[in-house]
């Protein structure tokens, strides 16, 4: 195990560098350093040799060139077991460098703070640091690379224990260094490509950062973790404000609730169970929206996940407490008074939507299949009243039209075949995930019961047969919205006319498999 005699310290993030350097000196290690790092070490009375003094060459171009010198890189890259390498070092008066502690200019953090022009971004692209990390990691058999302050304690522990670093430990650190430079280069690539402007590249490279290890996956025998998409610049903030750790299934339901309520401009509440909505309401206030969502299907709502698209206040918090058992509430913000109301529900998780927040211009959706990924753009199309075409003799009333648009928006978030029955801006029956559309119609109407009388119905896909309309008519449905496009559209329209049902078509399908 080679002894560490000389270390190069050059860091942007100065946290922990002083005690790290002090301990190295106590262990007999000579310190080389650059610029502000050297200045800080000297200010703390740590003996240090500046790189410019060691190389005999000053820093150039306002600090762009500091460590890009043969005396530095040859000292790092030399194979100590190679006679030719050792001879070259002696001939050139170059001393081996045994440890390299380097981090990188904060490019990712810099561009994540907001819109940044190209000139500023260029100055945050680290050249020398990346070269040092790669050189030290490549030569891990002889050199210890320390790619960030989070590794200081680990390295010092090894040094104190073994008077050197074992090759196996060096290899793990080299992996971390290459992982760091890989992520860094990807962030730069994405910035120059305007954050993934190429939707479907020949080689798809994805980068995710682990936020939390989960208790288990969909079932207790499966392991799981939650990762954030690094390319979208996500920040987890505080993962959960109270309650037990979130489960895999909690996060799936929370995501479904988040996607649904953020589709609405007015106050909206969604209650989700098993990745599908069981109740959705919109209104003038969150309290009104919650009441509508809860009354849609209170039996299914038990143990569900709630998503709201406005700040959660004390009034709604009291409604939630009185309603019954719920697993999770997701929200964009919460008032301190509401937190106090909910604090006694110790098992209720409170999750800011920052945990799931989507960012960026182009959204891609991924579904894993055996052997690979299916990639598509997100389903973000929204239908407006002006885009609807009435195909029946009876036109929907203004109230029915408003309810139809509401129901069709909800249907987008229900597993296909998806059917949503609504009264006003409240769901009263939802049928999804059925192999036949008429089966989904029957399920939604069964859920609605007497509330289907005078209600509207939305379908995420076209009606293949008129039997769907016949079932709806017997239940008292007065208006239907669906994409259209079936070879039996004429028969479906005639069935509506026979029952005086108004039907509008969207020419837009919302399948969700």
What is the helix (H) or strand (E) element at residue 426, kind and residue range? strand 426-431
Q: Which entry of 22, 138, 195, 318 is annotated as an active-site residue?
A: 138
The C-alpha atoms of residue 233 and residue 196 are separated, in whole angstroms, by 12
Q: Which entry of 22, 172, 195, 274 is annotated as an active-site residue?
A: 274
The C-alpha atoms of residue 124 and residue 103 are separated, in whole angstroms, by 13
Does residue 274 carry a catalytic annotation? Answer: yes
Q: What is the CA radius of gyration of the chain?
A: 31
CA angle, 177 as apex, 210 and 20 as ends, to 5°?
Answer: 100
Alpha helix ranges (H) inside 27-151 = 35-43, 51-55, 70-77, 83-92, 107-112, 118-123, 128-138
Does residue 413 carry a catalytic annotation? Answer: no
With CA atoms as reference, report the closest residue to 503 among 486, 381, 379.
486
What is the helix (H) or strand (E) element at residue 364, kind and residue range? strand 364-369
Which tokens is 497 given? Answer: 């006319």
Tell me how far the alpha carbon of residue 6 is from its chain's centroid. Answer: 41
The C-alpha atoms of residue 10 and residue 33 are separated, in whole angstroms, by 6
Peptide bond into 417 cis (omega under 30): yes
Catalytic residues: 138, 274
């Amino acid at each position: 195990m080679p002894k560490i005699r000389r270390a190069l310290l050059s860091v942007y993030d100065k946290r922990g560098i002083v005690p790290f350097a002090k301990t190295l000196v106590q262990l007999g290690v000579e310190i080389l350093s650059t610029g502000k790092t050297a200045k800080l070490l000297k200010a703390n009375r740590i003996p240090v040799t500046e790189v410019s003094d060691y190389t005999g060459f000053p820093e150039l171009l306002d600090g762009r060139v500091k460590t890009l010198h043969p005396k530095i890189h040859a000292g790092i890259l030399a194979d100590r077991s190679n006679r030719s390498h050792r001879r070259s070092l002696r001939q050139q008066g170059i001393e081996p460098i045994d440890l390299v502690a380097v981090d990188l200019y904060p490019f990712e953090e810099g561009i994540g703070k907001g819109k940044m022009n190209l000139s500023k971004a260029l100055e945050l692209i680290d050249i020398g640091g990346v070269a040092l990390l790669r050189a030290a990691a490549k030569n891990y058999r002889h050199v210890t690379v320390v790619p960030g302050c989070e590794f200081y304690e680990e390295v010092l522990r090894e040094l104190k224990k073994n008077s050197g670093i074992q090759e196996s430990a060096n290899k793990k650190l080299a992996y971390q260094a290459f992982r760091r430079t890989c992520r860094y280069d990807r962030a730069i690539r994405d910035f120059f490509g305007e954050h993934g402007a190429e939707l479907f590249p020949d080689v798809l490279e994805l980068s995710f950062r682990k936020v939390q290890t989960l208790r288990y996956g969909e079932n207790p025998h499966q392991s799981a973790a939650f990762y954030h998409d690094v390319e979208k610049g996500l920040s987890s903030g505080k993962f959960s404000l109270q309650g037990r750790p979130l489960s895999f299934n909690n996060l799936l339901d929370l995501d479904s609730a988040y996607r649904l309520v953020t589709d609405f401009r007015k106050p909206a509440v969604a209650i989700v169970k098993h990745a599908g909505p069981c109740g959705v309401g919109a209104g003038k206030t969150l309290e009104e929206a919650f009441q509508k969502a809860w009354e849609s299907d209170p039996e299914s709502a038990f143990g569900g996940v709630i998503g709201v698209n406005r700040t959660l206040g004390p009034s709604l918090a009291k409604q939630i407490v009185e309603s019954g058992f719920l697993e999770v509430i997701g929200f964009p913000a919460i008032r301190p008074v509401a937190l106090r109301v909910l604090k006694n529900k110790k098992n209720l998780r409170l999750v800011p939507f920052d945990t799931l927040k989507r960012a960026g211009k182009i959204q891609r959706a991924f579904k894993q299949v055996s052997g690979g990924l299916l990639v598509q753009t997100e389903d973000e199309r929204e239908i407006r009243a002006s885009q609807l075409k009435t195909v029946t003799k009876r036109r929907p009333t203004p109230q029915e039209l408003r309810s139809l648009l509401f129901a069709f928006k909800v249907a987008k978030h229900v597993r296909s075949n998806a059917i949503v029955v609504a009264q006003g801006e409240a769901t009263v029956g939802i049928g999804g995930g059925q192999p036949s559309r008429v089966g989904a119609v029957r399920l939604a109407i069964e859920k609605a019961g007497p509330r289907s009388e005078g209600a509207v119905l939305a379908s995420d896909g076209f009606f293949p047969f008129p039997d769907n309309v016949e079932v709806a008519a017997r239940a008292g449905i007065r208006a239907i919205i669906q994409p259209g496009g079936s070879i039996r559209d004429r028969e479906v329209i005639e069935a509506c006319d026979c029952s005086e049902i108004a039907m509008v078509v969207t020419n837009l399908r919302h399948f969700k498999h």
